[in-house]
Amino acid sequence: MRDFLKHTFATVLGLLIFFGISIGAFVLLVVSIGSRETGPEVKDKSVLVFDLSLNITDAARNSSTSQAFQEAIVGEDNDSMTLRTVLDAINEASRDPRIVALYLSGNGEGTSSTGLAALKEVREALQRFRQAGKTIIAYDDNWREREYYLGSVANTVALNPSGEMEFNGLSSESAFYAGALRKFGVGIQVTRVGKYKAAVEPLLLTRRSPENREQTETLLRDVWNELLVAIGKERKLSPQQLQSIADRQGLLLAEEAKKRGLVDRVAYLDEVIEDLKKLAGKDSDEEKSFRQISIRSYADVAESAIKRKQSSDKQIAVIYAEGDIVSGQGGVGEVGGDRLARQLRQLRQDEDVKAVVLRVNSPGGSAIASDVIQREVILTRKKKPVIVSMGSLAASGGYWISTYADRIFAEPNTITGSIGVFGVQPNFQAIANNNGVTWDVVKTGRFADSQTVSRPKTPQELALLQKSVDQIYDQFLTKVSESRKLPKAKVAEIAQGRVWSGQRAKDLGLVDELGGLETAIQEAAKRAKLGDDWKIEEYPRSRSFEERLFEQFTGDQTSSRRVDPLMTQFKNVQSDLAMLRSMNDPRGVYARLPFNLRIE
């Protein structure tokens, strides 16, 4: 790998020369930027600025030799940060006497894609900030539920006079491709277990089944009710009052939002900035208006402060399982079964690692890969504590890999469960025949060509596939029963592929406690009997600068933040097709969430 990166970086340097940048100028640029990077300055009486369009992910933050240089050359996604980085920054700011307030800044240019469970953890950190006696001011041109979930904790919530408050509830819209597949002559055959296992429905139906509709409605109600209770507590409004607003109005003009108690002030941005100036004073930089520091810049301050406090050699390893679970190594945004299993083995053998927190944010995927990962969790738990922290999504295969932990934590609005299995068998006979393509096979056994996509599966072949699916489903039930200390009949009753909220999963015994990543880390320290003598290390390690630079030159570009509705639908279709491409289980059997469940 090291040699590959050397060659890669050499190639990139050659490309730079080709484009007219001399090596001398390139080196001078690095030295110039590196010499300027002395760390962010935090002035006395500063305001921490949090952009509400920030995307918060689980994945480890890239380390930087010169962040400004890397952002300039590689084009880093500047509107994304990791959850732990955000939490550390807010927590440190609550203790920092130089930080007097926090500004939640919305600009109406786009919405965050952060999961609701992650937002809940950020929300709790903001509450701690306010409880420390510091002020939070929130402003947006147009408030939407996701941003308002955070903004509602502010001492003052402001809305532009020409703006609107969207408060109309949550929805989940799925695309169904069965009609298109039939139109183009693509055949789909399915083997599955679980009447709620709806992952295959978009390939078979033109709308949700009654069972799928039932589970989706229940999930949305649970998530929506948590949001109503949380917002209502801060705004001194009952869940019933908020539901009435959602049902009767849904979209409120600025003055209506104030009258209903959803915002405190109707004001223009310059008026809000004047309030911030009163708190922090005017900044010498005219562009900034008030004395401030962005949460991205302050994150470096918080990281340095934490490192100074952490001198221990004893580690709590936080390992991230984020994305579809696939067999093999996996790619960007995927959980490679072999890769994660190897990482767990390394952590198990590392004497400095005293406990492991497995952070799961996955809809599942390959059944075999999930089992490979689960086996390493079991072996690791025999040597040191393993705690699972479920993020916004830890369902099906994501639940499979979680079951044998010492303790499972989930947020009330985590999407989990979906204990079920399915297999998808496409064939292209009709579309091929319609275009003059035919096949002829010679074989030595009845089932020798059973994996072909040139024809539909025979009833006998489908029976064999169903047997495999049934066996893996029974294995799934057995593992949940054994690890969660639940009767197998009870597990079978609550399984059936059904999706549950974190709150209901706790009530059913599928998770142990409600709480976020920080709570799970504290539990790991407690079980390992570390007291305060420990530090956190995150895995897998972030990609190197050379790897990201190579991606830049090979065309892996990040997209613009502002996307029109048509483009959004197109990207949803792309995401659905990407899910199909990630199906690489050797047996063709999957433990995965119903397609791509989106909550808007």
For residue 183, is it within any domain? no
Q: What is the 3-state secondary structure of 344-367?
A: HHHHHHCCCEEEEEEEEEECEEEH
* CATH assignment at residue 535: 3.90.226.10
Residue 584 is predicted with a pLDDT of: 65
Among 370, 396, 402, 501, the active-site one is 396
Average pLDDT value for residue range 247-261: 95
For residue 223, is it within any domain? no
Q: Looking at the 3D structure of the chain, how many domains does it have?
A: 3
For residue 492, is it within any domain? yes
Task: Please tell me whether residues 327 and 399 are part of one structural domain.
Answer: yes
Task: Please tell me whether residues 587 and 489 are part of one structural domain.
Answer: yes
Q: What is the pLDDT of residues 289-345, one digit of tens each?
A: 889 999 999 999 999 888 887 778 899 999 999 999 999 988 888 999 999 999 999
Q: What is the pLDDT of residues 440-476, one digit of tens each?
A: 989 899 888 888 888 999 999 999 989 999 999 999 9
**Active-site residue flag, 396:** yes
For residue 459, is it within any domain? yes
Q: For residue 322, what are the CA distances in angstroms to 196, 302, 539?
A: 24, 25, 11
Task: Please tell me whether residues 404 and 504 are part of one structural domain.
Answer: yes
Token pair recorded at residue 544:
């190197």
Helices and strands of the chain, counted as H and E runs: 23, 24
Residue 156 is predicted with a pLDDT of: 97
Stronger pLDDT, 70 or 205, i.e. the higher one:
205
Q: Which residues pair with 394 in a beta bridge?
A: 362, 416
pLDDT at 559 over 90: no
DSSP-derived secondary structure letter, 175: -
Query: Of 263, 288, 305, which one is at a domain's C-terminal end?
Result: 305
pLDDT at 44 over 50: yes
For residue 220, is it within any domain? no
**Packed helices 23-36 and 2-18: angle between N→C axes, nearest 10 degrees:** 110
Please list, residue by residue across 125-137, b when 16 or more beta carbons sit within 10 angstroms of its beta carbon and e when fewer do: bbbebbeeebbbb
Cα dihedral 491, 496, 502, 508, rounded to 10, equals -30
Task: Please tell me whether residues 408 and 501 are part of one structural domain.
Answer: yes
Average pLDDT value for residue range 120-147: 96
Task: Please tell me whether residues 284 and 266 are part of one structural domain.
Answer: yes
Beta-strand relationship, 364-366 and 590-592:
antiparallel
Average pLDDT value for residue range 376-405: 96
Judge contact between 67 and 37, C-beta under 8 A.
Answer: yes
Work out the pLDDT band at 111, boundaries 50, 70, 90: low
Work out the pLDDT band at 30, boundaries 50, 70, 90: very low
pLDDT at 147 over 70: yes
Task: Please tell me whether residues 135 and 7 are part of one structural domain.
Answer: no
Task: Please tell me whether residues 286 and 399 are part of one structural domain.
Answer: no
Task: Please tell me whether residues 264 and 410 are part of one structural domain.
Answer: no
Average pLDDT value for residue range 584-591: 65
**Active-site residue flag, 46:** no
DSSP-derived secondary structure letter, 441: -
Query: Of 288, 305, 322, which one is at a domain's C-terminal end?
Result: 305
pLDDT at 361 over 60: yes
* Mean pLDDT of the residues in the chain: 84
Residue 483 is predicted with a pLDDT of: 96
Q: What is the DSSP string of 511-540?
A: SSEE--HHHHHHHHHHHTT-TT--EEEEES
Q: Which residues pair with 81 in a beta bridge?
A: 56
**Spatial CA neighbour of 159 closest among 237, 21, 43, 254:** 254
Measured CA to CA, the distance from residue 580 to residue 582 in angstroms comes to 5
Task: Please tell me whether residues 25 and 145 are part of one structural domain.
Answer: no
pLDDT at 67 over 60: no
Stronger pLDDT, 452 or 16, i.e. the higher one:
452
| Residues with Cβ within 8 Å of residue 559, at least 6 apart in sequence | none
Task: Please tell me whether residues 366 and 515 are part of one structural domain.
Answer: yes
Measured CA to CA, the distance from residue 291 to residue 271 in angstroms comes to 16
pLDDT at 286 over 80: no
Cα dihedral 449, 454, 455, 460, rounded to 10, equals 20
Count the alpha carbons within 13 Å of 335 in the hemisphere toward its beta carbon.
37
Stronger pLDDT, 3 or 88, i.e. the higher one:
88
Among 197, 258, 479, 506, the active-site one is 197
Beta-strand relationship, 421-427 and 187-193:
antiparallel
Q: What is the pLDDT of residues 533-554, one digit of tens each?
A: 999 999 987 555 555 555 445 4
For residue 224, is it within any domain? no
Stronger pLDDT, 199 or 17, i.e. the higher one:
199
On the question of a cis peptide bond just before residue 385, with omega within 30 degrees of 0, the verdict is no
For residue 588, is it within any domain? yes
Measured CA to CA, the distance from residue 45 to residue 596 in angstroms comes to 45
Q: Which domain holds residue 461?
A: 311-436+455-555+573-592
Average pLDDT value for residue range 417-427: 90
Residue 196 is predicted with a pLDDT of: 87
Work out the pLDDT band at 579, boundaries 50, 70, 90: low
For residue 158, is it within any domain? yes
Task: Please tell me whether residues 301 and 334 are part of one structural domain.
Answer: no
Measured CA to CA, the distance from residue 76 to residue 54 in angstroms comes to 14
Task: Please tell me whether residues 72 and 86 are part of one structural domain.
Answer: yes
Measured CA to CA, the distance from residue 124 to residue 227 in angstroms comes to 13
Q: In terms of DSSP H, where are the helices of 37-115?
A: 67-74, 83-95
